[in-house]
Amino acid sequence: MIMVRALTIILALAVVPVGIAQAASCPQSLDFELRPLAGSDPVRLCDAYQGQVLLVVNTASKCGFVGQFEGLEALDAELKDRGFRVLGFPSSDFLNQEYADEERIADFCRSNYGVQFPMFEKVNASRRGAQPGTLYHFLGHAAGEFPSWNFHKYLIGRDGEVLASFGTRVRPDDPRIRQAIEAAL
């Protein structure tokens, strides 16, 4: 009986550090819970995307750069089997160019641009709007620049490090983005 109790205590102590180590191993860039677009249950980015190369983009359905959805979808479809994903985050920070209703955003992106890459709840992405403790507050500080318009892109490496930041005018098919993604893969 004493042997069983001792073994139970040893096993319990051995499991606790593993759990702590797993929680501590989540890179800060992915240590956020966000709801999928028009979904109900939050997703912890670390659980879903750790170890992948990510292109995080603030989107807006009514923006003049909305055609970039096609290039983002093409990148995601082509490279997702190699451990790459595009993650979209709708935002109304710049001239309120996003629909208020998340169902409408999701339908617009799917029906007009065939978007299949993961899209998440609306966020504040601008320097003024991104609050401490949020994904875009972290990304803006880590990259040394916040989005100044829609379709700003952050490249995150497999280790969770923010590798690059690309402004709105840098299209998803731009060789600079492609080279940076390939180097990270």
Residues with active-site annotation: 63
Cα separation, 53 vs 79, in Å, equals: 10
Q: 90 is written with which tokens? A: 């709708």
Report DSSP letters for the chain, one per residue.
-HHHHHHHHHHHHHHHHHHHHHHHTS-GGG--EEPBTT-SS-EEHHHHHTTSEEEEEEE-TTSTTTTHHHHHHHHHHHHGGGTEEEEEEE--TTTT-S-S-HHHHHHHHHHHH---S-BB-----STTT--TTSHHHHHHHHHT---SSTT-EEEE-TTS-EEEEE-TTS-TT-HHHHHHHHHH-
CB half-sphere exposure, 129, CA atoms < 13 A: 17
